[in-house]
Amino acid sequence: MSLLPASTNAQYHGAAVSAWFLALAAVMSIIPGAIHYFLPDGGAGVIAGIDLGAAGQTIIAVFAWYGAIQIPFGLLLLAIALRYRPLVPLALLMLIVMAALSAWSDWLGKGAHGNHHPPGHYGHIVTLVLALVFLVLALRQPSTR
């Protein structure tokens, strides 16, 4: 038995561009995840511009924790995009849920204090809109003409 079952790509009938978008989203999860996990400050200070004063170690730990989640999530999305395309709509839906919850927190909820917004806050909005478009494309049935 192997780690990865045989590819199911032949069973996918949605838009190929949706699978490629999912692959891009995967990379865009893995890279920030690696930054959050491997940079000494997780990118909190040098990228996001967060004051790492009294709670610095806690902030860095939370960034590392988030990176530890982003990396395997991105790898899973990449496996789906490249080998298990019938799962593309489900993966896009999960990406939409993640982006919507993150965007809500970034702009209106728990993380919406102050006027400073790091790059990820804008990325969540873009991801949400694009993932919705590509989900619609992934769910469209090909014409039978």
Residue 120 lies in a domain: yes
CA atoms of 49 and 83, how far apart (whole Å): 38
pLDDT at 112: 65
Residue 126 lies in a domain: yes
CA atoms of 7 and 86, how far apart (whole Å): 10
Q: Do 121 and 114 contact (CB within 8 A), yes or no?
A: no
Residue 10 lies in a domain: no
Report CA-CA distances (Å) from 15 to 104, 107, 144: 29, 32, 15
End-to-end Cα separation, the chain, in angstroms: 41
Max Cα-Cα span within the chain: 65
Residue whose entry in the numeric block shows the structure tokens 């949400």: 128
Number of domains, the chain: 1
Residue 34 in tokens: 């690696």
Task: Output the pTM of the full model.
Answer: 0.88
Q: Do 103 and 125 contact (CB within 8 A), yes or no?
A: yes
Residue 49 lies in a domain: yes
Residue 4 lies in a domain: no
Residue 19 lies in a domain: yes
Residue 94 buriedness (CB in 10 A; 0-12 / 13-18 / 19+): middle
Residue 144 lies in a domain: no
Q: Which domain holds residue 55?
A: 15-139
State how far Cα 65 lies from the chain centre. 15
Q: Do 143 and 93 contact (CB within 8 A), yes or no?
A: no
Residue 92 lies in a domain: yes
pLDDT by residue for the chain (145 residues), tens only, comes to 688 999 999 999 999 999 999 999 999 999 999 999 999 999 988 888 888 888 889 999 999 999 999 999 999 999 999 999 999 999 999 999 999 999 898 888 876 677 777 777 888 999 999 999 999 999 997 655 5
